[in-house]
Each structure stands twice: as structure tokens, then as C-alpha cells.
Copies of this chain bind each other. A is one copy, B any other.
Amino acid sequence: MKIETLAIVGVGLIGTSIGLAARRRGLAGRVVGHDCRTTALDTARSRGAIDAATSTIAQAVGQAQVVVVCTPVEQIANHVIESALAGAPGTLVTDTGSTKGAIVADVEARLPPGVNFVGSHPLAGSEKQGAEHADAALFEGKVAVVARTPRTDPVALDQASGFWTSLGMRVRLMDPREHDWALAVTSHLPHLTAAALASVLPEQLHELAAGGFRDSTRVAAGEPAIWTGIFTQNRSNIRKALDSLDLVIARFRTALESTDQAEIAELLARAKKVRDALGN
């Protein structure tokens, strides 16, 4: 895959990392970036992630064959539509949002003809934010979910898949709603428990929070505004995932109350089996 001009809307950690990776891998001849924050644009340009910065989405998109919208989830649908309205016929627009159901449904209801949209979610990131933490290797070896719906154009689906593959990712096609349930379990629920764990740590115990606590709560350092949008868009699935978690926690609680060592051991063994299967 080779893109003459790639437009990136939103040059935070993800957008800037895409620019860096596309440049390093020779995927795009030229990368144009837009962001409403000029400091982010300056950082992205000084890091070599974008060749040019534009002050409007239309300016960035007008020159591009592929547009990646990397803004917070609650803004993505509008930015995709704005991109589509400014795009030349045949332009492919995709995104990087951590939720897919609401975004894809909203975009498909409003997408102007001539431009293709395929929702995406590269499963790569960091609890650190901003263009300054971007990393050209962020996507290598990771999974990108590409959302397929009955309305998805097959050629555009191939193009979007090829885009992520070119950045070193493995692509998994999923229905947007299936994605949102999966991510509620694999990402949003751990974020919630990490935040809850961090919240119950009193200051006088900070010194005693060792590696286990730090690992378990690392994602809680993520940007609250970003995650408020994700939690809000995926709230039903997160509640369902929380119900599943509560059942296991309740079993632990009962086992602790009754000093049921066999049950504690079984719960821990079951968890270890899953965690071991994931590897590092």
C-alpha cells in the first residue's frame, strides 16, 4: 500500500504515532495534520510525524486519499462527516476510536455519497498522552479491529485493513457492537477497576504500593476526559461486564468469609490459567 497524501485529524499520542509509523514505513508520500491545538501540531511537526499542519479539517482532507480521525470518541463522528464533506470522491476515511457502535451508526446515517468510511480501532496506546509521547513502533505486532457492517464497502474494507497491516498490525474484522462488548471486557472494565483501586489508596500507603499495585492501576493514569467519553459511549456494555466481574468478586468474598481455602485456590488457579495463556 502506498498513499500519496495521508491526512491525520487529531495529533495526540495515536495520531502522531500513526504519522511517525507511516513515515518510517514509507506508507505515505506526504502527511498532513490537523488539530485544534496548535501546540500539538507544532510537536507533531517538529517530531517529523507530519509534513504540514492545517488550521481546518477541510484543508487537510482536501489533499488526501486516506484520512484517519484520531480525536476523542465523542468528536469522531462529526470529524468523520466533516472530512467526508471535504474529501474528493473515493477518499477513504477511518478512525481510531476505542468505541465503534455509536460512531459507526452515527456516521453511516449521515455519510455523504462518494466517500467511504470504515471504522477502526488499533489496540495500541499508553496511559501517557500527547504528541510528545508518540512512538513510531506503537502499532507493531498489535491487533487492529476493523469494523464491518452490512453497509461497509468491500474495497474500502480492504483498503482500511491494508492501512493497518502496513503499520505492522494484525487485522481482525468485527461487527461494531461485537467490538464494543469485547472492549468493555478487555479494556474498559480493567480501566474501571484500576481507577477504583487507585481511589482507595490513602496517601500514607503510597510508599507501600509496590509493583503489583502499580501494574494493576497503570491505566488509571489515562486522561479522564478521553475515558469519560469512552465510558459514556460504551456504558451499557461496561455495566454488563461489571456484572460478570461482580459475580467473581462475590465468590471471593464468600470464600473469604467462610475461610474456604479450596474455593480461594480454585478461583486463583482459574485466573492464573487465563493470565498465563496471555503471556507477557
Task: Tell me if A117 is interfacial: C-beta within 8 Å of chain B.
Answer: no
Contact of A216 among B209, B215, B227, B241 (CB under 8 A): B215
Contact of A249 among B196, B216, B267, B276 (CB under 8 A): B196
Say yes or no: A143 contacts B210, CB within 8 Å. yes
Bound complex: CA of A219 vs CA of B268, how far in Å? 11
Bound complex: CA of A262 vs CA of B172, how far in Å? 34
> Most chain-B CB neighbours within 10 Å: which of A142, A172, A270?
A270
State which residues 245-261 of A face B: CB under 8 Å.
245-246, 248-249, 252-253, 256-257, 259, 261
Q: Which residue of B lies closest to A231 (CB)?
A: B264
Say yes or no: A210 contacts B187, CB within 8 Å. yes
Bound complex: CA of A216 vs CA of B252, how far in Å? 18
* Chain B residues with CB under 8 A of A274: 198-199, 201, 206, 217, 220
Say yes or no: A201 contacts B186, CB within 8 Å. yes
Query: Interface of A with B (CB < 8 Å)?
Result: 123-127, 142-143, 145, 172, 182-183, 185-187, 189-203, 205-225, 227-228, 231-232, 235, 238-239, 241-242, 244-246, 248-249, 252-253, 256-257, 259, 261, 264-265, 267-272, 274-278, 280
User: Can you list 14 A-B contacts (CB < 8 A)?
Assistant: A125-B210, A172-B208, A182-B205, A182-B208, A185-B202, A189-B197, A190-B213, A198-B275, A215-B218, A221-B276, A232-B261, A235-B256, A239-B253, A239-B257
